[in-house]
Structure 1
Amino acid sequence: MASIKSAMKNTVLLGLLASTAAAAPSYGHKPDPFSNASWPLPREISGQDDTANPNSTTQGWGGVHLHDPCLVLGPDGHYYSFSTHGLTVISRASNKGSIDGYWQILGSVLEAGSSVINNTGSTDPWAPDVHKVGDTYFDYYAVSQFGSQISSIGLATSKTLLPGSWTDHGAVLSSSPDADYPLNITNAIDANLFVDPKTHVPYLIYGSFWADLYEFQLNSDLKSVKQETALQLSFDPVLPQAEEGAYLSYAGGWYYLWYSHGICCGYNVSALPTPGTEYSIRVGRSKAATGPFVDRAGVDLKAGGGNIVFGSHDYVYGPGGQGVLSNYRGRDVLYYHYVNTNLNPTYKDELKLLGWNYINYIDGWPVLSSR
């Protein structure tokens, strides 16, 4: 990585390197599109790298280095990214209408702090989820301490997405052993706003360890939930029940529940998770935003179902924290963070990168594509 940094200074150029993956098995007379041998490499992006900058106000995050990324089109025609760490760091792609870059760090959402941060005792907001509703951008973010169920999902809003424009509204929901059901058995992190395009009902999907993924209907102001509408969407019965980072999307009459499964963080090249237990991206589908969601074999996600659509392969390790960008140049995109083992041989969390691929739908099931 040092050679790349010295050649490009504060810029990192990432993407398609020669794959060493084995040939795909037979799928009729064509490669099986659902096989892990068909997984593509991340598309090429470029952007700022502040990881070695001691004066970075965003702890080195932003630009190409994102964790739990969120991408959204801004009112100025540029795409913006948001990330865990750095008080929810904001970056912008300089090429209008493109998510390839050059990604430049602008600042943070919560520069003025947050009441949610004060309530949970953490100063590190996680997993921002930003969507435009009407003329306002809504950012649902999580505040917790690693391994703790005492967590909150907060909300900040803006008209422009720019640093300094955000108003923090505090907690939307909080989890703890003393909370009302199901917040007493779940973990209030990794929120996702989904407004049903058919019914216009707004939902908030959330969860992680402690009973995995749940969904609430939101009230019309999008600042609070309807407690009586709680539904469980997925559950892994095998400990440690690592499902999180839910993202709901809609295409072709199907609702797709994407989520990250496995161990997200703290990778160490000398003691990596058991192969297959690191982060991977999984999906199920339903004909309703409230489920039930099933995998290709018809297994309910609440019974441990879910198909892996992207996992470790070639130089890609532990992809997750995903989201869907709909109708990007006429196609849907899955974006995510991952470890590039060629550029990050020690697997450091702070060197995780933004990656993305187009989504193809085969018989109503999503598969990723390099083009």
Structure 2
Amino acid sequence: MKNFLFALLMLATFTVAGQTKPAINDTLISVHDPVIIRQDSMYYIFCTGQGITAFSSPDMKHWKQLKPVFDKAPQWAVDAIPSFRGHIWAPDISYHNGQFYLYYAVSAFGKNTSCIGLATNKTLDPSSKNFKWIDHGKVIQSVPGRDMWNAIDPNLVMDENNIPWLAFGSFWNGMKLVKLDSALTAVAQPEEWYTVAARKRDFILPDSVAGDAAIEAPFIYHHGKYFYLFVSFDYCCRGEKSTYKMMVGRSEKVTGPYADQDGVPMNLGGGSTVLEGDKNWHGVGHNAVANFSGTDYLIFHGYDAADNGRSKLRIEKLAWFNDWPMVERRR
């Protein structure tokens, strides 16, 4: 299913069998499912990898690979996912309540035997005396035969009243949104769930096959009067054969309904194209959006046709036209 993994630039380092190759002043880094955040004058990227792969940069150009968030697989995840060996998917990073919240996914590949976990840290600077990741364990779990949704690809978003919601999901019956408690560590009670995006699926197919319903990687970004729901359609993780592309819809409420530029609801298969692959870059997707110094950036991975389809980080400036996002260099 997934989940492996430039108005500015393209940015290369990789993790092999849990070991890192040092990456100082590299201008290309190999990533899957990247998210970005800034603390003080330093930028940090977190992405899919053994123990969660992390990088830092003073300029979003030259990246240094850091130690993984986890030096060994969290025991709760090993207990919940028998096949889990420490390869963690699609982290999401944000800052609230005086600390950084890092949601992440653990899963059996091709199945919705999946969980979303949470770790927090007071700082992202490894040299700080306060640097320490604290794992809070499982937030949400999906179970085959019980759930037709998948607990992967988490994204935390605050609504206009600063109430926390977690978007997540892939394939099956779509992207979910659930309200969290004020501590951001569990589903709020009573539970409140929404399906915010989905594609029609032939349910004759086995659970491990998405058919034409491949959709994942939700990311909700608040801009102006709208909440924008970004998702990725089609297939990741196939190198030059990857068909990933980024789609978007918007809503005045975080709970939706989200609709595309033609007014088609995203929970009925709608979505307007933000960016798709071309002859140079295949399978662009699993994006996040971040604002630094008043400029919005789209961060995602793509498969480099000039480098045997290797997955690499891409960062693009994001512009807005008639309240719709567009990659600036494609204006």
Query: In structure 2, which of residues 216, 223, 231 is the aligned counterpart of residue 251 of structure 1?
Result: 223
Report the Cα distance in structure 2 between the residues aligned to 1:329 and 1:137, rounded to whole angstroms: 19
Taking a change above 3 Å as real, the CA distance of residues 297 and 330 of structure 1, as seen in their structure-2 partners, is same
Report the Cα distance in structure 2 between the residues aligned to 1:233 and 1:56, rounded to whole angstroms: 35
Deviation at 1:157, TM superposition (A): 0.5
Is the 1:50–1:56 contact (alpha carbons within 8 Å) kept by the matching residues of 2? Answer: no
Is the 1:45–1:102 contact (alpha carbons within 8 Å) kept by the matching residues of 2? Answer: no
Matches within 5 A, 1:133-172: 133-162=96-125, 165-172=132-139
Is the 1:217–1:229 contact (alpha carbons within 8 Å) kept by the matching residues of 2? Answer: yes
Taking a change above 3 Å as real, the CA distance of residues 367 and 291 of structure 1, as seen in their structure-2 partners, is same
Is the 1:143–1:151 contact (alpha carbons within 8 Å) kept by the matching residues of 2? Answer: yes
Report the Cα distance in structure 2 between the residues aligned to 1:102 and 1:60, rounded to whole angstroms: 12
Asked if residue 218 in structure 1 is aligned to residue 190 in structure 2, the reply is no
**TM-score of the aligned structures, taking structure 1 as reference length:** 0.77
Report the Cα distance in structure 1 between the residues aligned to 2:238 and 2:281, rounded to whole angstroms: 16
Asked if residue 128 in structure 1 is aligned to residue 91 in structure 2, the reply is yes
Matches within 5 A, 1:62-73: 64-73=29-38
Aligned residue pairs, count = 305
Taking a change above 3 Å as real, the CA distance of residues 220 and 178 of structure 1, as seen in their structure-2 partners, is farther
1:108 maps to 68
1:362 maps to 321
Percent sequence identity is 30
Partner of 2:50, secondary structure, is coil
Q: Which has the larger radius of gyration?
A: 1
Query: Structure 1 counterpart of 2:288, which letter?
Result: G
Report the Cα distance in structure 2 between the residues aligned to 1:295 and 1:199, rounded to whole angstroms: 24
Deviation at 1:237, TM superposition (A): 0.7
Report the Cα distance in structure 2 between the residues aligned to 1:43 and 1:311, rounded to whole angstroms: 18
Query: Structure 1 counterpart of 2:112, which letter?
Result: Q
Deviations 1:32-82 (A, max 9, x none): xxxxxxxxx563144x5346xx797248999711100010112x4200000
Gap runs ≥5 in structure 2: 1-5, 202-210
Is the 2:177–2:193 contact (alpha carbons within 8 Å) kept by the matching residues of 1? Answer: yes
Deviation at 1:136, TM superposition (A): 0.5
Query: Structure 2 counterpart of 1:339, which letter?
Result: Y
Report the Cα distance in structure 2 between the residues aligned to 1:67 and 1:139, rounded to whole angstroms: 16
Gap runs ≥5 in structure 1: 1-40
Taking a change above 3 Å as real, the CA distance of residues 302 and 59 of structure 1, as seen in their structure-2 partners, is farther
Deviation at 1:105, TM superposition (A): 0.3
Deviation at 1:370, TM superposition (A): 2.9
Deviation at 1:115, TM superposition (A): 2.9
Deviations 1:269-313 (A, max 9, x none): 5xx36xxxx100000000000000000000000111001110012
1:15 maps to none
Q: Give the stretch that moved more between structures: 297-306 or 118-127.
A: 118-127
Deviation at 1:228, TM superposition (A): 2.3
Asked if residue 335 in structure 1 is aligned to residue 299 in structure 2, the reply is yes
- Higher RCO, 1 vs 2 (CA within 8 Å, ≥6 residues apart): 2
Partner of 2:267, secondary structure, is helix
Report the Cα distance in structure 1 between the residues aligned to 2:235 and 2:314, rounded to whole angstroms: 18
Query: Structure 1 counterpart of 2:221, which letter?
Result: S
Taking a change above 3 Å as real, the CA distance of residues 329 and 314 of structure 1, as seen in their structure-2 partners, is farther
Report the Cα distance in structure 2 between the residues aligned to 1:201 and 1:142, rounded to whole angstroms: 22
Report the Cα distance in structure 2 between the residues aligned to 1:312 and 1:199, rounded to whole angstroms: 37
Is the 1:88–1:108 contact (alpha carbons within 8 Å) kept by the matching residues of 2? Answer: yes
1:57 maps to 19
Query: In structure 2, which of residues 40, 45, 52 is the aligned counterpart of residue 88 of structure 1?
Result: 52
1:200 maps to 162
Partner of 1:225, secondary structure, is coil
Q: Structure 1 stretches (4+) deviating beyond 4 angstroms? A: 59-63
Report the Cα distance in structure 1 between the residues aligned to 2:216 and 2:164, rounded to whole angstroms: 20
Asked if residue 117 in structure 1 is aligned to residue 69 in structure 2, the reply is no
